[in-house]
Each structure stands twice: as C-alpha cells, then as structure tokens.
Amino acid sequence: MTLTVQPRREELGLKDGLLYVDGRWRAAHDGSTWTHRHPATGETVGGFAVAGAPDVEDAVTAARRAFDAWSRERAGARVKLLHRYAELLRTHADELRGLQALDNGVPLSFGGIYATSVDMAADAFDHHAGWVDKAGGQTLPPYQGGDHIAMTFREPVGVVAAILPWNAPFVLFAQKLAPALAAGCTVVLKPSEYATFCVLRMVDLLAEAGLPDGVVNVVTGPGDPTGEALIAHPGVDKISFTGSREVGRRIVQASAGMLQRVSLELGGKSPAIVFEDAEDVGLAAMTTMGAVTMGLSGQACVAHTRALVHRTVYDEFLDAAQGMAGMITYGDPFDPSVLAGPLINERQLDRVLGHISRGREERARLVIGGERLAGELCAGNFVAPTIFADADNASTIAQEEIFGPVLAVVPFADEEEAVRLANDTEYGLGAGVYTGNAKRAFRVARALRAGLVGVNGFQLEPHVPFGGYKQSGLGREGGLAAFEAYTELKTVLLPLTDELM
C-alpha cells in the first residue's frame, strides 16, 4: 500500500500560497514559485510565491509606513486585538494542525502536545498582551547639578524581520510576533519554505482579528533569494531568527554594517544527566529517547540528544531507552496512531545517515536502529530510532547537532565528571537533570552552562525566557525578556527650573 497525503490536501482546501504585503495577497513580481514536496511521501503538495528583492522592498516599505500608526496605537486596542487573535488560533487549531502535517509531516498526535501546539501559541499571545500596558520606565532623582528629573521610556524598536524554521511553526510564530506586536513593532515575516502553508493561514487569521494593513507582511521563499534580501535590507531595524548556526553567523555578518539588533536561537547538543539516585531511571530513559524520536524525529534544537548516565544505572537506562525506541510508529501523519514524522528533506536524510556512519567509524556501540526505513515508507525520509552506547563525549555524534532520531549515551562516574562532560560542548541551549536529591538538582542546574534546565522532566512554557549560552544564540524568547528585546530604552532629562542643568 502506497502512502499518500493527497486526499488530505483536498479536505483542507489547500491552495497555492501568495505573498502578503500591505494587507493584500499577491504573486511575486517576477512570478517565481516554489513547489513543495511532502517529506513522508515525496508527493507534490502545492506551491507558493518566491519573493525576490523587489517584493522584500515592498514588504519592508509597507511595514515602515504602518509603523507610525501601530506604534502609537492605544494600549487597550492592542491588548484586545492580541487576545482576539489568540481565540481565533484556538478555534482553528485542528485546521492548523492539518496544514502543518501537509507542510512538514509532523503527525497530528504530536501537533497537539502542548509545547508544539496551537494552544501554546495562543497562550503566548495572551501572555504578551499582558505586557502592552506595562511597558513602563523609571523616574530617577538628579544625581548632580540643577533641579531636574531623569525619566526612561521603552519604545518599539521598529521594523522587525522575523525568520522562522520549519520544525515548530506555531510556537515560533508566536514567540516572535507576539512580543513584537505587543511592543508596537511592525513585522516582515519569512516562514521556512518547508512549513509555509500553516503560517500563511495564521497570518490570514491576524487579518481576521483586525490587524491593520502593513503591520505584518509575509515574504515566502528559500534563503536565497528571499532570506538574503530580507536580512540585507537597510530598512529592517531588528532581525529575529531561529535556525542553524551557519545561517545565524551569516545574519550577524549581514547585520554588522547597519548595526541592526539581532536575536538568534541557533540550536544545541543538550545533555540529559541521569544520576544513580534518579527516582525512576526507566522513565528518565523513556523521556529522553521520546524527545529524540517522537513527533519531530529528533529535529528539535532543544532535544536532549546526549544522555550522560551514571555507570551503576547505565544498563537499566539503555534497556528502557531501547524499549521506548521500539514503541515509535511511522506512517500517515494524519493517522492518530502514528507517533513520529519524517526528516524534512533528502539533504537532511543524507546528513543524518552520514552521522550514523560516522558513529560506527568512531566505534560507538550501535544498540538499535541506524538504517533508513523501507516498505511503504520508502518514498519518505524516515530513519529508525537510533541509540549509540559507550560514545566518547568528544566524538562527532556527541558534539555535533545531528537533527535526527539519534541518541548518544555517555557513561560517567560522579557528579563532577557529569557536569564537566555536560559543559564540554560549543552549545548551551537546554539540559535535563534526573535525581532524587533536591540539593544536587539545584547544584547541578546552577553549574550547567545552558539557558533552560529541566529537573526530572522538561517543559517549554510561553511566559519563561528561552534561549542559549555560547553558540546556541543571542538573546531570549518568551516572557518579559522577549518583550524588552523588541524595544529601545530612551532617557529624557526634564529641567524643573530655568537654570541650566
């Protein structure tokens, strides 16, 4: 039986995508389009416009023109609009999950898990709506000189280029647009070419919520030409990007000449540290392996793809992780029994298989997996859940972000070694600590060079800062930190007498 998603395309009424500029849907100036092939079946799903430099120019111009009015919009009006939009997201959650399944192959079963769901995106808009009327500054007494008052104000940074990856479009759409719009910024949004249709529908709902024309504009297409034109545009005041480290470096280089503000979330090689006193070693193993395999098949920047396990519970951990790997099911992303999706494209498939070959060459012990799935899945980019045991922490599979269903397991002897191994990486995005000792949990969490540490579990929330240390990026998304990242701080000195200050 051949796997197909074509009937779902018809059920969802999917149409080819257009650019959204100044409140109007339109084709690219030169008529360029992109054909999207489904990663689970290889079928053509649909197409959409590819924005070139003239289209990006139109979008940035529209955002600049809309900025004056939107940045001065009354706080109450912005609050109501963002809450109204959050409710529209919740109303259309099933439709959006279906469109995502057509985009990136993420199964419906995973699209409903809170951390990757439309509900979390809606909660992010509700949360950031709460900051709109709290964008206050300070009033400071004079430090020296005459009688005066020093005041600070938070003002929107301006036009934002928001560039999304394909793996979690709902949440990342919200993490960028919710604080930007709450702060009074306008946005030119570029979704990934591998997750465009669900994002276009989310933008359509923004218009339905009453967002004024030009406040959010969408330019679709790949990094070249669309992304390159956007990050190099002098009319962009801030770039917010989530994706690979290589592209992040390119953005920093492009922004340097114009000193644009930049927020970057660039991935990780996050460790899960399992101590001998963990309350449930089996659950820790299943949680870790589940994060590497379920839903996104390890294509998540914060997934704990290194397991550092105390030698006394090492075999128990491996047995449970292997059991979890055997529970993962693949197939039609619209089938509720399917738990994991394909790799996003053939390039990523080849990359993951290459890392698996490298793991064998580096003499890590292959416990399970390591091959491409065949049978009715042969047309898709599926790789079996893979576990390497006895990996050297300095090896390629323990150091590089593979972005696939591959777990490297490394033994350790004591707490000091565990922390040293965990921090021995260029990344610093997330980490997990499994222990029954509260003092140890807090001590290790503080010692880890990572932006988000979970104790005996891991959960993303819309109101907490998310981001990384070291080469995992710059800045934070979520909560007050994200809101402030879309503002500039202005100081005003006001004399209270006719004397010079």
- Residues marked active site are found at 265, 301
Q: Where are the beta strands (DSSP E) in 124-247?
A: 139-140, 148-156, 159-163, 186-190, 216-218, 238-242
Rounded to whole angstroms, the Cα distance separating 299 from 283 reads 22
For helices 93-104 and 75-91, angle between their N-to-C axes, nearest 10 degrees:
70
Rounded to whole angstroms, the Cα distance separating 191 from 172 reads 10
Count Cα atoms within 13 angstroms, Cβ side, for 49: 21
Neighbours of 426 (CB within 10 A): 13
Rounded to whole angstroms, the Cα distance separating 373 from 370 reads 10
Token pair for residue 448? 């880890």
Angstrom CA distances, 85 to 93, 211, 258, stand at 12, 9, 34
Residue 378 φ then ψ, to 5°: -65, -25
DSSP state of 289: H
In the block, residue with structure tokens 């007498």: 497
Token pair for residue 297? 């098949």
Closest CA to 34 of 247, 228, 220: 220
Burial string for 276-310 (b: 16+ CB within 10 Å, else e) reads eebeebbebbbbbbbbbbbbbbbbbbbbbbbbbbb
Q: Are 286 and 436 in contact (CB under 8 A)?
A: no
Angstrom CA distances, 446 to 156, 430, 453, stand at 33, 13, 9
Token pair for residue 303? 């997934």
Give the strand pairing for 430-434 and 216-218. unpaired
C-alpha 479: how far from chain center: 15
In the block, residue with structure tokens 């490394």: 410
Q: Are 478 and 466 in contact (CB under 8 A)?
A: yes
Question: Which amino acid is located at 193 in the chain?
Answer: E
In the block, residue with structure tokens 């053509």: 44
Give the strand pairing for 216-218 and 271-274. unpaired
Angstrom CA distances, 118 to 97, 166, 205, 332, 340, stand at 8, 15, 13, 21, 18
Angstrom CA distances, 143 to 137, 146, 149, stand at 18, 9, 10
* 3-class DSSP state of 321: helix
Q: Dihedral, CA atoms, 205, 210, 213, 216, nearest 10 degrees?
A: -50
